[in-house]
Amino acid sequence: MKNVLIDTHTHLDFDQFDADRDEVVYRAKEANVAGMITIGTDLQTSKKSIEIACRYHNVFAAAGIHPHDAGNASEADFAELYEMYSHPRVVAIGEVGLDYYRNLTKPDIQRRVFRRFMQWARELDKPLIIHTREAEEEILAILRDMSKKGWRGVFHCFPGDMAMAEKVMDMGFYISFTGSVTFKNSTAAEIAKNIPLERLLLETDCPFMTPVPHRGKRNEPAFVQYVAQKIAELRAIPVEQVAGYTTANALELFGITLVEEE
């Protein structure tokens, strides 16, 4: 199981995959992507993610409310989400966080919703999948306020600098990179080159963030191989080593056991 890859952040529920979801999952497995996590952004997409995870071997789900959708969630939605965390295919709380770049939800609502998920992560001992954009200092402050250390989770599509990376790793978080490491003048590439392999995860964030050489097309989990290759190239190590570490990290963080498939 050493050299397989895991795509830790996909949105297989999106309608971009409605026409060919089976083929997308099949192509991923052909491309050595042995596991995938498909991630909800609100109540409906969290439900759909669980349905998809139940349909395929080695596809897992995360349930949460994206900061863009935080303003639309009702108490009934939260109650239903809470129940989802006892589902055997649900391996994480996410994606959740703060986004002051697009600012589709008022900051105070974003903060309140994010804190609630953080409390649940503690209570239920589930890892967090965190999305943050232009809110890095504040998210660090909220995390510190609740507890300086001992967090389990990942900062997905890592948006920060090396100083931020050091801080979140110190609190216990992993750092995950998308196809953005393959883009020109990428700060993500600089960080992916330098952080410890023990803290690194891979993802596509598909259907978004399509890596070179497929930019401009829909992204899909099979393309996580380009993220792995680019990081191997940046660090001047064999891609098998990147695969070995990132897969072990993902299995450990999300408590996943892959089943054998023929």
Shortest distance, position 17 Cβ to Zn ion, whole Å: 14
Nearer to Zn ion, 205 or 220 (CB): 205
* Contact track, Zn ion, 189-208, x by CB under 5 A: ----------------x---
Shortest distance, position 249 Cβ to Zn ion, whole Å: 18
Shortest distance, position 1 Cβ to Zn ion, whole Å: 26
CA atoms in the 13 A half-sphere facing the CB of 125? 1
Parallel, antiparallel, or unpaired: how do β-strands 128-133 and 200-202 relate? unpaired
Shortest distance, position 240 Cβ to Zn ion, whole Å: 27
Shortest distance, position 209 Cβ to Zn ion, whole Å: 9
Nearer to Zn ion, 69 or 205 (CB): 205
Nearer to Zn ion, 96 or 121 (CB): 96
Closest CA to 210 of 180, 185, 231, 189: 180
Nearer to Zn ion, 42 or 205 (CB): 205
Q: Which residues of this protein are in contact with Zn ion, per CB under 5 A?
A: 205
